[in-house]
Amino acid sequence: MEKRVVIAVILSIAVLYAFSYMFPPPVANLKEKARPVAAVQSQPSSAKLSAINSVPVAATPQAGLAARNIVVDTDLFIAVFSTKGGGLQSFQLKHYKDKAGAVGRDIVLKNESDADKLSLLSEGKNFGLEPNLVFQSSAKDTKLAGTEKSSIEFTVTSQTGVILKKVYSFSGNGYGINLHQELINTGSSRVEGAISLVNYNRLVAEAGDGRYEVYGPVTMAGDKVITDKVSDIAKGPKQFDNNVSWAAFADKYFMDAVIAVKNSIASARVAKISDNYVQTNVTSSPLSLNPGQSASIDYRLFYGPKDLDILKAQGSRLEEAIDFGWFSALAKPLLRSIKFFYSYTHNYGLALSSLPSSSRCFSFPSPTRATSQ
């Protein structure tokens, strides 16, 4: 009898733990008051990049361009990119609300009014590439559904004659975004250096409560996941140089991440640069370009829910960003069980109530024996 009681208690606790991930409590509307990101300088690394090819291209410098926005609307999200830095200005999820019922509004993972604090900005000082450069783009607002795919391209030429092309590729039914960056040296002299992708996260005042109970940078480096609190990086920046797979910023239910493709992240640096921002820089391996040569760097981007299956589909063990704590061994199979029952019932309440019934199969015929005794 005591054994069954202990098992029942453990299962109940594990179900409640999994339930907290399946049904997040209502959270306040996301008018972000502060999410920090610290400035990071380029750090060399041994990560391999795409092979350098000889591609002579004429330099076409531009000046005085006005920044404009480009909207990408898919089944899952609405993203607004800017030609300012070729960066991301806002990101809104379509299937997640901040409150239950009709009053709920779509979760907004990013909505930046400061043009200097966009995400996915490119910086390479040795190439003359500053984050605030205005790119050229012929892309128009794009709407995708189902398996439809599309891309938007941004191009800028620095004063040193280095062309940077940034191409974002999307799918109508996926959260993952591919980012391809190509550097072309159209100048007359050799250039060397690394290029960084800079992300800014505005800190929220509600940190430590509800959705923001878990909140801060998460990095996979050296084959392990390192979670830092904002209070930790406020004491000093964190630098990662060993086998960086991805760098992310997460709360309890959502996250954004830059994921390495073919070891494209040589290093990552996270710092709190003000009361309002955390800055994350992911940096490539050193590049050396002779006149007419080019090199490419690829990343996979993710902005979305901390759903076990969705994260796993992104690859690079991104699902390990979910910390199930002490009950990890029980919570993961229970979460999968809940999803299994949901696939038939299409009701999480029924799926949860099915768990105790199914668990009785493991104790049968013990209850019968206990009754007969």
For 173-216, the pLDDT digits (tens) are 999 999 999 999 999 999 999 999 999 999 987 666 678 888 99
Q: Report how far residue 153's alpha carbon sits from residue 179's, in angstroms, rounded to the nearest whole number.
A: 10
pLDDT, position 340: 62
Among 104-118, 182-196, 318-332, which is the least confidently predicted range?
318-332
Q: Tell me the C-alpha to C-alpha distance, in Å, between residue 242 and each of 23, 219, 239.
A: 36, 11, 10
For the chain, domain boundaries: 2-21+328-372, 31-323
Count of beta carbons in the 10 Å neighbourhood of residue 52: 16
* Sign of the alpha-carbon torsion through 98, 104, 109, 114: negative
pLDDT at 164 over 90: yes
Dmax over CA atoms of the chain, in Å, equals: 92
The CATH number of 31-323 is which of 2.70.98.90, 3.30.70.20, 1.10.10.10, 3.40.640.10? 2.70.98.90
pTM over 0.85: no
Give 260-310 pLDDT, tens digit per residue: 999 999 999 999 999 999 999 999 999 999 999 999 999 999 999 999 899
Give 326-358 pLDDT, tens digit per residue: 555 555 565 566 556 556 665 555 555 665 655
Measured in Å, how far apart are the chain's first and last C-alpha atoms? 11
Q: DSSP secondary structure string, 91-147?
A: EEEEEEESSSSTT--EEEEEE---GGG-BSEEEBGGGTB-TTPBPB-----EE--TT
Q: Report how far residue 79's alpha carbon sits from residue 303's, in angstroms, rounded to the nearest whole number.
A: 10
- Quick one: average pLDDT of 155-170? 97
